[in-house]
């Protein structure tokens, strides 16, 4: 079928426009849509699996168990701690960790058909129905307090972009980052009869990491919670399943916890946090013969830790061995300019020693793990690892903090694309123009314009936020440009969208004349020439 020349021309122009948009849409944009990665004080994992500082311990019935000091990650007691077993409902600890790290508590979780009907029958529920919506915070309470399976599945779906399998990849990647040695997750709930495996040591790593989160600590120490009214149901009250926290069983040192429920082999598991004399610990027991046995084994293991170990602050230990930190960085050329006030040790670190141990026998090593981008505030650039008779008993973060350092490029990029200046924040200046209130733009992080130092490869630009580089090898990020004017036709568009539109326009402007010449001008000339030839 033949089309009129004009329609063919329009079709070709449309194709060229689409191609141009796709090609130019791939150009790098100034705005990254990812949020800042952030720095963490998580202990180093390069030392591998830590053995218990002291050999022996109580004879408990649990097949697998571990007790770890929360702050340092020191192993105080272990039984078959790295052997593979079913993590049961303690799988929800991993789901909770990822949710706390990737989701906003105020975000909404919507429940799909699969979340409600595809998780089996032998599960724990809180009565949520299909298409019901609750906040992420309420979902975390339901999952950690009441061990709700439909909620855990829905959180996994949300983090997986609406699908559950991508979330499993997230789980295993995060476990690898924590230093897990024997975990392979394929479930967000742990109660759907999958063949996933983990071990007491790996779950202990997750529990220690979670304990650094204030919201998690609040949730897992709650004896009950009232889920507010939703779009489909009235409010409902849920009760804590961990009996030490609900107070149906008594243990004076227990502070928080998560139940693991029953495995396929009819054994039970439990996660319990406790604290005594300023030493917080977490106990993981798996493969217990019964529910009561899980609590009894937990008490025996934790009491052993309290009776045989004591926690010290890093400051106390260093005073005891009469050492200071002068010379700690002498052999690292990165910090040889004498600006020691910018680099310091985390003073809140904890070191655990056997009771009566000689602190002077402590040794320490330095591990550096430099971030790919430095942010405003404290940056963890490594750890000082403390060893007692070859066993890791504590670590302190090595922190870099330059008060003059502006907001990082990643932080800026994460805020700017989503920001629309509300009319209430526009202040007139002498009746002409507007001034954007930066304190609203970026709460608590307001970069300060500076005319120096001069940007590399050009003259000083008063419209550039200068990025000081106190060390030759510390190159935090590229300079920050002044924010764009958001007024006008394309004012609220992102930089990426504007770049794609401009690229498509340029591409079309260049090729459209060629199309006109080839498909209109030249054919007309040929037809005119043919008519003249026929007349002759």
Count how many domains the chain has.
Answer: 3
Same domain? For 345 and 379 the reply is: yes
Same domain? For 322 and 390 the reply is: yes
Same domain? For 466 and 501 the reply is: no
Strand 464-465 and strand 480-481: the pairing is: antiparallel
Residue 202, CA atoms < 13 Å, CB-side half-sphere: 26
Question: Is 375 part of a structural domain of the chain?
Answer: yes
**C-alpha dist (Å) from residue 414 to 32, 441, 446:** 7, 12, 14
Give the DSSP H/E element, type plus range, for residue 392.
Answer: strand 391-400
Residue 195 CA to residue 178 CA, distance in Å, equals 22
Beta bridge partners, 66, equal 78, 284
Which two tokens mark 340? Answer: 């020691």
Question: Is 189 part of a structural domain of the chain?
Answer: no
Query: What is the pLDDT at residue 297?
Result: 98
Report helix, strand or coil for 478. coil
- Report residue 129: phi and psi, to 5°: -115, 170
Question: Is 98 part of a structural domain of the chain?
Answer: no
Task: State CA 378 to chain mean position distance.
Answer: 17
Question: Is 71 part of a structural domain of the chain?
Answer: no
Same domain? For 362 and 385 the reply is: yes
Beta bridge partners, 382, equal 368, 398
Same domain? For 392 and 415 the reply is: no
Sign of CA dihedral 301, 304, 306, 312: negative
Same domain? For 381 and 447 the reply is: no
- Whole-model pTM? 0.68
SS3 content of the chain, % helix, strand, coil (to 5): 35, 20, 45
Q: Within a 10 A sphere around the Cβ of 422, how many other Cβ atoms?
A: 9
Question: Is 209 part of a structural domain of the chain?
Answer: no
Which of 259, 297, 263, 293 is closest to 85 using CA atoms? 263
Q: Domain residues for 13?
A: 5-26+495-535
Same domain? For 332 and 383 the reply is: yes
Question: Is 487 part of a structural domain of the chain?
Answer: no
Same domain? For 393 and 420 the reply is: no
Same domain? For 445 and 499 the reply is: no
From 400, 429, 445, give the residue that closes a domain.
400
Residue 312 CA to residue 340 CA, distance in Å, equals 25
Which of 67, 491, 104 is closest to 305 using CA atoms? 67
Question: Is 234 part of a structural domain of the chain?
Answer: no
Same domain? For 436 and 475 the reply is: yes
From 367, 400, 433, give the residue that closes a domain.
400
Tell me the pLDDT of the chain (536 aa) as tens digits: 444 555 555 566 666 555 555 544 443 333 322 333 334 445 554 446 778 999 989 999 999 999 999 988 999 999 999 999 999 999 999 999 999 999 999 999 999 999 999 998 889 999 999 999 999 999 999 999 999 999 999 999 999 999 999 999 999 999 999 999 999 999 999 987 678 999 999 999 999 999 999 999 999 999 999 999 999 999 999 999 999 999 999 999 999 999 999 998 899 999 999 999 999 999 999 999 999 999 999 999 999 999 999 998 877 766 554 444 433 443 333 443 444 467 777 777 888 999 998 887 888 887 778 887 777 788 888 888 888 988 889 888 888 887 777 667 676 666 654 444 444 444 433 333 333 333 333 333 333 333 333 333 333 333 333 333 332 233 333 322 223 333 344 444 444 455 556 666 776 677 777 777 777 777 777 777 776 666 65
Burial profile 10-30: b = 16 or more Cβ within 10 angstroms, e = fewer: eeebeebbeebbeebeeeebb
Question: Is 358 part of a structural domain of the chain?
Answer: yes
Query: What is the pLDDT at residue 448?
Result: 36
Q: DSSP per residue over 413-473, as a string?
A: HHHGGG----GGGEEESTTSSEEE-HHHHSTT--------SPPTTS---TTEE----SSTT
Same domain? For 353 and 391 the reply is: yes
Query: What is the pLDDT at residue 102?
Result: 96
Q: Within a 10 A sphere around the Cβ of 527, how many other Cβ atoms?
A: 10
Same domain? For 369 and 434 the reply is: no
Give the DSSP H/E element, type plus range, for residue 527.
Answer: helix 522-535
Which of 443, 398, 468 is closest to 39 using CA atoms? 398
**420 and 437 in contact (C-beta within 8 Å)?**
no
């Amino acid at each position: 079928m033949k089309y009129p020349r004009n329609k063919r021309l329009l079709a070709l122009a449309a194709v060229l426009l689409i191609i141009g948009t796709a090609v130019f849409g791939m150009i790098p944009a100034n705005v990254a849509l990812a949020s800042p990665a952030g720095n963490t004080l998580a202990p180093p994992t390069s030392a591998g699996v830590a053995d218990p500082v002291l050999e022996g311990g109580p004879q408990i019935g649990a097949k697998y168990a571990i007790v770890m000091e929360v702050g340092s990650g020191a192993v105080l007691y272990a039984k078959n701690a790295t052997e593979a077993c079913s993590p049961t409902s303690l799988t929800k600890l991993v789901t909770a960790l990822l949710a706390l790290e990737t989701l906003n508590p105020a975000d909404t979780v919507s429940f799909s058909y699969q979340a409600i009907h595809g998780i089996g029958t032998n599960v724990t529920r809180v009565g949520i129905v299909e298409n019901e919506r609750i906040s992420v915070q309420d979902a975390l309470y339901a999952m950690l307090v009441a061990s709700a399976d439909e909620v855990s599945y829905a959180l996994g779906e949300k983090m997986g972009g609406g699908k559950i399998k991508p979330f499993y990849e997230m789980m295993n990647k995060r476990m690898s980052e924590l230093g897990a040695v024997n975990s392979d997750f394929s479930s967000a709930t742990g109660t759907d009869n999958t063949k996933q495996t983990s071990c007491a040591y790996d779950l202990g790593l997750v529990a220690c990491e979670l304990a650094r989160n204030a919201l998690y600590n609040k949730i897992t120490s709650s004896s009950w919670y009232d889920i507010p009214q939703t779009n489909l149901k009235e409010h409902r009250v849920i009760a804590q399943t961990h009996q030490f926290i609900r107070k149906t069983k008594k243990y004076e040192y227990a502070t928080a916890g998560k139940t693991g429920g029953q495995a396929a082999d009819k054994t039970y598991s439990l996660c319990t946090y406790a604290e005594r004399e300023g030493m917080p610990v977490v106990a993981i027991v798996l493969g217990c013969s019964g529910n009561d046995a899980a609590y009894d084994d937990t008490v025996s293991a934790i009491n052993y830790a309290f009776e045989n170990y004591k926690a010290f602050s890093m400051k106390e230990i260093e005073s005891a061995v009469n050492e200071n930190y002068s010379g700690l960085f002498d052999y690292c050329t990165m910090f040889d300019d004498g600006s020691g006030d910018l680099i310091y040790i985390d003073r809140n670190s904890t070191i655990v020693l056997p009771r009566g141990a000689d602190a002077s026998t402590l040794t320490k090593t330095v591990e550096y793990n430099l971030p790919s981008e430095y942010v405003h505030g404290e940056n963890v650039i490594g750890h000082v690892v403390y060893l007692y008779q070859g066993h890791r008993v504590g670590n302190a973060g090595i922190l870099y903090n330059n008060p003059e350092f502006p907001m990082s490029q990643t932080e800026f990029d994460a805020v700017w694309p989503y920001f629309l200046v509300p009319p209430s924040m526009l202040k007139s200046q002498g009746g002409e123009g507007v001034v954007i209130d930066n304190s609203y733009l970026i709460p608590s992080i307001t970069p300060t314009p500076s005319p120096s130092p001069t940007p590399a490869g050009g003259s000083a630009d008063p419209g550039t936020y200068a990025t000081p580089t106190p060390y030759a090898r510390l190159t935090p990020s590229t300079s920050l440009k002044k924010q764009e004017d958001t007024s006008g036709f394309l004012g609220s568009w992102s930089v990426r969208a504007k770049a794609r539109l401009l690229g498509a326009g340029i591409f079309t402007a260049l090729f459209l004349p060629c199309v006109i010449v080839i498909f209109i001008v030249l054919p007309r000339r040929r037809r005119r020439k043919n008519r003249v030839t026929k007349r002759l």
